[in-house]
């Protein structure tokens, strides 16, 4: 029986056609290794059932059962995914701790008191770790916001300071050469003051030099 086989790893999907009469779990595992460059025993093959849960495939029997269910709900297509064992172990650990934290030990009379104390302590440690992680993330975010705000304020005051410095420099220069500017404007009233101030600075206030430069321009 020939079917369309889709394999995926970290968002990358490939599709091939295989004959289930000769294609089994070993061939599927080799296909993942060759397609995605994975090393043997570094990943786990999974498939998604009709109930929405993911199940591992580790043998020909499990592969055959998965194909039967997948072909029952799809039109000749079977889908399998590879997940690194590191990710799988982490997810299993988180699920185990979540389930463990939700246990009501008071309703388990067969569990000894000393064991309950150990379980409660472990659950408390886990909750503290999770709370600390969440709080650290919040603190880091608030710190980043504050740093950004400080940078914006510093930039604002820096720009304002530069503007005021330039403004007073121009004002001081205009007052410094006020008499010379009036003299030149009486002859050339259309020349802007900001163009005359650098010329006066360069000529050390000598009006005759500036007038000669204007007439020669």
For 79-125, write each residue's pLDDT tens digit: 999 998 876 555 555 555 555 555 555 555 544 555 545 555 555 65
In a domain, 85, yes or no: yes
Q: Are 28 and 59 in contact (CB under 8 A)?
A: no
Q: What is the pLDDT of residue 111?
A: 47
Q: Are 80 and 57 in contact (CB under 8 A)?
A: yes
CA-closest candidate to residue 65, choices 24, 106, 121, 103: 24
Pair of tokens at residue 52: 């929405």
Number of CB atoms found within 10 A of residue 140's CB: 10
Average pLDDT score over residue span 163-167: 54
- 29 vs 163, higher pLDDT: 29
Pair of tokens at residue 111: 């569990």
Q: What is the percentage of the chain residues whose pLDDT exceeds 70?
A: 59
Same domain, 73 and 29: yes
Same domain, 136 and 76: no
Same domain, 80 and 118: no
Q: What is the pLDDT of residue 198?
A: 84
Burial of 23-62, coded b for 16+ CB within 10 Å and e otherwise, reads bbbeebbebbeeeeeeeeeebbbbbeeeeeeeeebeeeee
The parent domain of residue 81 ranges over: 2-92
Tally of domains within the chain: 3
Same domain, 7 and 77: yes
**Helix ranges (DSSP H) in 74-206:** 85-101, 113-176, 178-187, 193-202
Strand partners, 45: 57, 82
- 61 vs 205, higher pLDDT: 61
Same domain, 87 and 7: yes
Average pLDDT score over residue span 142-160: 55
In a domain, 97, yes or no: no
Q: What is the pLDDT of residue 37?
A: 94
Q: Which helix (H) or strand (E) holds 214?
A: helix 207-216
The pLDDT mean for the chain works out to 75
- Distance separating alpha carbons of residues 77 and 71, to the nearest angstrom: 6
Same domain, 67 and 37: yes
Same domain, 112 and 41: no
**Looking at the predicted structure, is the pLDDT value of residue 32 above 90?**
yes
Kindly indicate the confidence band of residue 134, based on its pLDDT and cuts at 50, 70 and 90: low
Same domain, 7 and 84: yes
Same domain, 120 and 87: no
Same domain, 145 and 183: no
**Looking at the predicted structure, is the pLDDT value of residue 31 above 90?**
yes
Same domain, 33 and 76: yes
- 148 vs 41, higher pLDDT: 41
In a domain, 78, yes or no: yes
- 182 vs 57, higher pLDDT: 57
Domain boundary (27, 61, 92) is at 92
Q: What is the pLDDT of residue 11?
A: 87
Q: What is the pLDDT of residue 67?
A: 94
């Amino acid at each position: 029986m020939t079917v369309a086989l889709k394999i995926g790893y970290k968002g990358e999907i490939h599709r091939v056609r295989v004959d289930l009469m000769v294609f089994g779990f070993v061939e599927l595992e080799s296909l993942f290794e060759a397609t995605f460059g994975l090393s043997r025993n570094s990943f786990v093959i999974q498939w998604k059932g009709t109930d929405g849960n993911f199940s591992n495939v580790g043998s020909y029997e499990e592969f055959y059962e998965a194909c039967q269910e997948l072909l029952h709900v799809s039109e000749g297509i079977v889908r399998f995914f590879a997940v690194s064992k590191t990710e799988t172990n982490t997810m299993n650990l988180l699920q185990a701790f979540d389930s463990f934290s939700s246990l009501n030990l008071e309703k388990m009379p067969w569990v000894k008191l000393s064991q309950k104390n150990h379980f409660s302590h472990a659950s408390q440690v886990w909750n503290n770790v999770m709370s600390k992680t969440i709080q650290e993330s919040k603190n880091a975010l608030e710190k980043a916001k504050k740093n950004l705000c400080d940078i914006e304020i510093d930039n604002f005051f820096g720009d304002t300071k530069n503007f005021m410095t330039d403004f007073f420099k121009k004002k001081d220069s205009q007052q410094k050469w006020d008499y010379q500017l009036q003299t030149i404007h009486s002859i050339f009233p259309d020349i802007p003051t900001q163009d005359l101030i650098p010329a006066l600075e360069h000529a050390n206030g000598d009006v005759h030099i500036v007038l000669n430069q204007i007439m020669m321009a």
